Amino acid sequence: MVDNLRRRFMPDAAASALDAANEESLYRQLAASQTTLVSVAHRAGILKYHRHVLELLGDGEWQIHPAQGYDFRH
């Protein structure tokens, strides 16, 4: 979903179906357009296009981590 008024992009199910090369191309173009990206993902490759990771821990708990160096496995 693209919100042109505020320049935000929140990928939907269609974006998650992209192969790694097309996903990289999409995020590269969005980053160049200075669009705010909000992603739900499990691929580490998109971390370079984000500054923060919001980790949902369950039971209403959450943590914010720097995207750089974030490990999905912890």
Antiparallel, parallel or unpaired: β 36-37 and 52-58 = unpaired
pLDDT digits (tens, 9 = 90+) for 6-61: 677 776 666 778 888 988 898 888 888 878 888 887 778 888 889 999 999 999 99
Query: Is 37 a domain residue?
Result: yes
69 or 3, which is more confident?
Answer: 69
User: What pTM value is reported for the model?
Assistant: 0.70
Instruction: Tell me the residue range of the domain where 33 lies.
Output: 2-66
Residue 10: predicted pLDDT: 72
Query: Is 74 a domain residue?
Result: no
Task: Tell me how far CA of residue 8 lies from CA of 3, 30, 44, 46, in angstroms.
Answer: 5, 9, 21, 16
Query: Is 73 a domain residue?
Result: no
Residue 36: predicted pLDDT: 82
Task: Tell me how far CA of residue 22 lies from CA of 4, 14, 18, 52, in angstroms.
Answer: 22, 12, 6, 22
Residue 61: predicted pLDDT: 96
The structural domain count of the chain equals 1
